[in-house]
Structure 1
Amino acid sequence: MSAGAAWAAVLDHPLREDVDKSVVDAVVVLPTLYVPEASQWLSTTAGRVALEGYSWMQAVHWVAGSGLYKPRRHRSHGPRSFGPTTVRVAQELAQLFPCRPGIEYLVRRTGLSERSVEYHLGMLREAGLLAYVVRGTRIRGEAAQASEFARMIPVEFDEALGVRTVQRDETAPEYTRAPCGIAEARRELMAKLAAKAARKIRKRRSKTSGKRSRKGAQQGVATGVSGEVRCTPMQVGTSAVSSAGSTYSPPEEKLANGEAKSPTPKKSTKRAGGRRKQNKVGRRFQLARELIQELDWLRGCSVPRISWVARDVADAGWTVTDVRAWLHLRGEVTKVRRGSGLLAVLLANAENVLDTPAKRSAALEQWRGAQEAARRHRIEQVRARTERYDGDWTGPTSYRVQQEVAAAFAKVREVVNGGRAALTDHPDVVSGAEPLPAGLGVQGLADDEIVQTRNDARQRLMMGDTSPITLAVDTLGREEAEQLYGPALVRRGLQLANGARSTLMTYGRR
């Protein structure tokens, strides 16, 4: 490159208008500035580590004004020159310690595209201003890891400005050498570079963006990032190890503002218990998800649709247990064609019927009592089945004989439990006993208690619950149950219980 051509190149560049001809004469003799990919690592670089970001920006402005680095000499695409945009990217890197920028962070700060940021980072590495400490990873299915860089000052900068360096520790690597002086003839140029390093380069606004900028819209300026501290508190200083296996590499999405997020999230004072308080819509969706998990006949239903169906009870403060208690009062179902439609029918006007917490608590206790009774009934059934089939005795095949055997077993159980059969078959047990007082019915119950018991069983039978009658028949026997509930009610309850196990009969349909 001739002196005249170099001087014209300096004047054409917007960063070079104040560089005198003596500077050009000094840089003309320098070779072309380019660092191959193999030398872009901290362990293989020929430059030295910048002690702080201010001195590093002096080297950045020198490379931009010297014209020694031409990107298009080494690639056919990307930026054509080391210009103001590259300097803007370098300004963001100068504020990070350690220099571990995420691509998304630089995109937000500079307003550039992701590809442009990658281009300018590659130009800084090729110019000898950046060197890899740890290279980031892009593995499919895993979080992307950001690269960590060391801010470097090229050897050409020290030679052009007459910077003298010294290696204070002979055992340390070459890139740790420190400056100890500068040539007198280059002090003026160093002062100009220092003035440029102190200024901020911003993107020029286009003429058509004036009206929008008056309205408050930002055009090409760096967007704010929460938190003004520009450091990644991973380590102090720069590591000389270039192995990614021994260095922790947080993903790029955790480096939005250049600092790694703490593994334990901080609780905000604006939220109760560190979690945002749910609004009305959130409570509806939560109740819908719980109902879909608890009720088998709602499996596969849409959460938004169930939340809309249960919106009234959710707004009234109902929980999933309250809804299940209300559904027990309305009646159990065995076959459902459309779960959301059935739920809408069953929950109709529920918030007005159980409008107080006391009523909901009473319904909940009744549901839990029915659950406990059903559990005991299942236990009795399993026990009877075990005694019948697991023993050495094989039952008769005739249905009539099976009925007689079942009546004999029931009579034995009544004798053991002190029932009516014990009083009739063992008069010596009750010899001398006083007769039951007048007004008492079955097993010492008063007439009004028997009436209340029959009314409760009749109401539950109307809702499809046959557990009181079947439990009484299994524990007391058919005759004792008929005396307690009446023959008609017992017969109806047994018919419904037998029909529930048949495929020819279903509940909840007309």
Structure 2
Amino acid sequence: MNVSTTVKAPTAMPGARASPSSDGTALAAPSEIWVPESSQWLSTTRSRVASDGYTWMQGVHWVAGSGLYQPRRHRRTGLRGMGPMTLYIAQLLSELSPCRPGVTYLTRRTGLTKRAVEYHLAALREAGLLAWIVRGTRVQGGPALASEFALILPVEFDVALGIRTLLREETAPPYTRAATGISEAGRKVMARLAKRAARRVRKPRKTAPKAPAKPSSKTSPTANAPGTGHASGAPVSGGSRCTPMRGGADGGSGAGGVVPPLETTSVASGSSKSPTEKSPSKPRRGRRLNKVGHRFELATRLAQEVPWLRGAATPRLAWVLRDVADAGWTVEEIRAWLHHRGTPEGHVHRPSGLLAALLRQALTVLDTPAKRGQAVDAWRAAQHAARHDRITHTRTRTHAHDADLTGPTSLAAQREVADAFARPTGTLAPDNHLSAQADHADEIDDALRQKCREEAEQLIALGEPDLVVEAVQNLGRAAAETHYGKRLVASALRLAATTAHLTLNRLTHR
């Protein structure tokens, strides 16, 4: 199938303006630019792809300055037209290759909200300047993928400037058309657009709307003259970037003595105050929440404070809490009612469903603020009592653990403890039986020494090296090895150097 390789200008509409060119032909200006959502994809667009970002910015300035793109007025939200911020976002897009801007990136560069950035991108798509190649996705639990756009020039731009295009290959898609020529009238317009595209668009400053200043007798009559401002049909990107002190954003420069030079006034010497007094800043009040906002705020706080509600979807909780939220309930009153009904412990499979079941009779039982206040007092008293019980239980368990001390497991040590308690007061007993054995080491026969070694070996097997370690500390390692043997002394010291005996002792006492 043969594809038309030249974009021909349509016949002039009754309301369209015609601009004569040098070659005698008239260029019909389009009446409106609007691209429906179904044609905002690269595969379905009527526009052609721009060769580079510079060429694309020429088309952006032409669309913004022509005023042919007007958003649909039936919308309650969105832009009212393409402004300086739209041009700034377009300049950011022209610098990307490939054009895959993330909304987070654009919000960081522009300082706008995500919704405002989406409005500007939608305006560029509806004006035929952007087309989707890949549309981004926001899958829950997965990475957020950015959309990829193609920088395109609308057909109305080619028609208005008399640009002739050609399709190089018959099998190629229509959006790959290339410009082959331009009319004489379009050359002059293209030269002006080239200057604007070469100039960097500055980021617009956020200024608070001010009331119109009253006419002063000090201002020059030329400041408010009808011919000093820009024309209503001037492009958006044109105009002065500097704002006079007492003028509008598009006012004149103030020639005629509106503001005298700084050198001729007393402000430079510091002897007088500035003529422009700063208005005292008023404290900003927070935005008042409506009924739906109060529901979401109540759901968010309740999900943070109630353990079994964590992880539940906030919109679903807000829908469940709609009746009690509209009745003026607080988070404390809802928690008091849940305490009265009884809440589960642990994980709940469907928290929103359980919450809806527990709140079923809440408005009927606690129908007055006084009853809700009594429920909150009872809940707080129960919380205080539960906290006191936990503290008491913890203290009791700690004291019981500290008092749960068992005596020595060794028979010889038990006999010495009994002898120590049975000995009359005032007599000094040796430190332990090891010191007595040290005094009478020569009198110990082999049978008793073998019995002590067997007892020490049993204690080491149970993880208690204290008997041999104390012998090494009191008698010295040489005497301890003579009495217990080198193998047992080495095993006891190696066990005492680790924490294994602590675990074994804890398991033994259980």
- Shorter-chain TM-score: what band? 0.3 to 0.5
Greater fraction helix: 1
TM-score, normalization by structure 2: 0.39
TM-score, normalization by structure 1: 0.39
